[in-house]
Amino acid sequence: MRTGGAARPTAVAGCGLALVLVASGACAGCGSSDSGSRTAAARTTSAAPSATAPEALCARVVTYWSRKVLDSHTYGDYQTMGLSNGQYDILRNVVDAARATKKRQGAAAADQLIVRRARQGCQDWYRTGGPSNGPWQ
């Protein structure tokens, strides 16, 4: 009686079953090359995330930090905030204007100004080259 003989037929049967599944197209990802190509193409195009323009990302970050900084007496460190030097310049201009507006017209007007000025500042900054203007820009 051989003890090693029992493992072989099971292994061969397992490989044969896998071969039958592959040949019949019953396993995941199998099928005709045409349907596989369409499936892969559909996954590629439907799974692609939408890109956000750099100006919009800049405005979002500057708006966020401008709101945080508005009521404080300091601006903090731009690197800790994750801002570039150019974004930090925009933030300082936005916050200075928002502080003056908040004193005259209130918090709601200051918040609207922050959104508007951050968007405009970032659009202007990217229109003239954005962060590629210099090593710390």
What confidence tens digit (pLDDT) does each residue in 73-88 have?
777 888 889 898 899 9
Quote the pLDDT of residue 40: 52
Read off the amino acid at residue 136: W
So where are the chain's domains? 4-47, 54-133
**DSSP string spanning 53-87?**
-HHHHHHHHHHHHHHHHHTSS----HHHHT--HHH
Q: In terms of pTM, does the model score above 0.75? A: no
Model confidence band, residue 130 (pLDDT cutoffs 50, 70, 90): confident
